[in-house]
Structure 1
Amino acid sequence: MDRVLGRIDPTVDRTAAARLLGCSPDQVGYCPRCQGLTRRYGRQAQVICPACQAVQPPSAVGAPS
């Protein structure tokens, strides 16, 4: 079973967040929904963090409300 990564608080060091996300620190940015840290830039970028994606399915991401 895949484990969903929880919200990464924006006060967490970017290097530590990058290790959790499996990317480099320069790829880390803010989730526009919760302001937590996510792999925002570069290859395999996820603008919406894994925690927010778990709440709302990817097919609904970006869909008008």
Structure 2
Amino acid sequence: MNDSVRRIDPSTDPGSAAAMLGCTPSQIGPCVRCQGLTVRYGSNTQPICPACRTRDERPA
């Protein structure tokens, strides 16, 4: 279980979020599930944030 993956709060500066996600600030947008920040635009689009994807991968 990887508990180090945390939701990026929507109030986080886009530049800081981009650095955490490895993209440019213009690619940052809200996760469709939790509204945390994720790579929503451009290449490598991920509408579900890393925190939500990690939760989905955990055994029930």
1:9 alignment partner in structure 2 = 9
2:5/2:54 contact within 8 Å kept:
no
SS at match of 1:6: coil
TM-score (norm 2): 0.84
Q: Give the share of equivalent positions with the same residue, in percent.
A: 52
- What letter is aligned with 1:13? D
TM-score (norm 1): 0.78
Q: CA RMSD in A?
A: 1.6
- What letter is aligned with 1:7? R
| Displaced runs of 4 or more, over 2 A | 2-5
Q: Could you tell me how far apart the structure 2 residues matched to 1:27 and 1:4 are? A: 23
1:60 alignment partner in structure 2 = none
| Count of residue correspondences | 56
Gaps of 5+ in 1: 58-65
